[in-house]
Structure formats: structure tokens, C-alpha cells
Structure 1
Amino acid sequence: MTSKIIFENLKIYAYHGVLPEEKILGTYYILNVEIHADLQKPAESDDLKDTINYAEINDILHAEMAISSKLLEHVCGRIIKNIKNNFPQIAFIKVKLTKTSPPMRGEMDGVSVEMESNFS
């Protein structure tokens, strides 16, 4: 059985970017994370030790977002690596990271980078 754990529109204030003012002022980022794993055992046992603790995933997301990076790709890569290292039973991870106020001309909701890794 393949199942998904999905974080939808997690909003975090952080300081990523190439420009010096981005490291000082910061902005909101939106994280969407999709994780695939076999969750049949916890579906039957109702025991936290049998599943992927999404509170721990949330802690990883916040910790990685707190580390300032120039590139969103770097942040996404670190998130994927850290989640997989902590939960080796994961078969697939997709991370979409959106900078809500990029310092560019034009009106937009944001600019996103999406990365995914298949471990099966």
C-alpha cells in the first residue's frame, strides 16, 4: 500500500535570496511537501511508532527554513535529504517552495521551485 502525507501551504517567514536586502528583510515562503510511504501498518495498529511522525517532519521543515540560503533549490535539496535521512522508509518526496514577494518587476503571487526524489 502506498499512501501520502501532504503538507499544504505551510507559511514560514525566512531569509533566503541572493540580494543582501533579502537576507535582512526576509519574506514569507510557502512550503508544499508530499511524501509517499507504505502506511498500512499504522492504519491497522493506530500506533505512532509505526508511522512517519509528521510533527517531526514539520520540525525538519522549520529547521531547514531557518538556515539562510542564496537559492531555493538549495533549501529544497536540504529538506529532501534531511527528511529521507530521518525516515528511510519513505519512497518519494516532492517539495515545492514559493517565495511570496520576490524582488522582481511585476505583480505575482510568488516564484516557486519544485524538486522531487524517488527512492524506490
Structure 2
Amino acid sequence: MGKIRINNMSFHTYNGVFAEEKKLGQRLQLDAELSYPIEQVVKHDNLKETVSYADVYQTIEDFILTNNYNLIESVANQLLAKLLNTYPTIQAITLRVRKYSVPIAGIFDNVEIEVSGSQDNDH
């Protein structure tokens, strides 16, 4: 099974539990890994034989910029469902959502949530 990956997509969003997060916003970064049978399906160097990652990126950007949640877990789950429904030829999807401005007293780079789903699962 082939993989199409779109890595390190960055968006300024207003997701979060705290009022400051909802008012000031912060950067979310996403990776999307799309499982698609590239080896069997892409035979003629034709975009119609594959998944347009430009379209997938646009779907992700539109979703992220128009939806706000308290939890990045909800962002990940709802986006996963949206992508699986929008692109039924994608066999499975793994999303990683990273949040950098987390109000935790400690030293770390980010908090990351990872979710996966497939067309075989209920989503």
C-alpha cells in the first residue's frame, strides 16, 4: 500500500479551552498520511488515477480555519471523519495534530495527538 504524506501544514487557529487561546489563537501544525494503492492504480501518469494532494490540503485548510474546538483531540477526530467521507478512494488516514502554545508549566516543544481511521471502520 502506497503512502501520500503532507507534512508540517501550519495554521493559525483559535482552538483551546482557555479564553486566551480562543482570543489570541495559536499555531496548529498537522501531518496527514494517506494510504492509497499507488502501485496498482497509478499506471498512466494521470492525476485522475491518484488522490490530488492539493485538494486534500485545501479540504484540511478549509476545515481547520472554519472550525474551532476546545480540544485538539476533537480537531483530529472531526477532520479524520471529514477526510474519510470526502475521499472514499483513500484506504486509510493517519493525522498528527501538534499544538505549540500549551499552557503547561514545563519545557517541551509541543503536544501531539495522533488518530487513524480507514474506510473499513465506522467513522
- Give yes or no for TM over 0.5: yes
Q: Describe the superposition over 1:37-62 as per-residue Cα deviations: whole angstroms up to 9, x where unpaired.
A: 112322x1111112111011101111
The one-letter code of the counterpart of 1:83 is L
**Where does 1:12-51 land on structure 2 (aligned, <5 Å)?**
12-39=11-38, 40-42=40-42, 44-51=43-50
Amino acid at match of 2:18: L
Contact 1:64–1:78 (CA under 8 A) maintained in structure 2: no
RMSD of aligned Cα (Å): 1.2
Unaligned runs of 5+ in 1: none
Q: How many aligned residue pairs are there?
A: 118
1:116 aligns with 2:121: no
Moved over 2 A (4+): none
In structure 2, the gaps of 5 or more residues are: none
CA deviation map 1:50-84 (0-9, x unaligned): 21110111011111211111111111112111111
Aligned to 2:99: 99
Question: What TM-score do the two structures reach when normalised by structure 2?
Answer: 0.89
CA drift at 1:119: 2.7
Is 2:78 the counterpart of 1:78?
A: yes
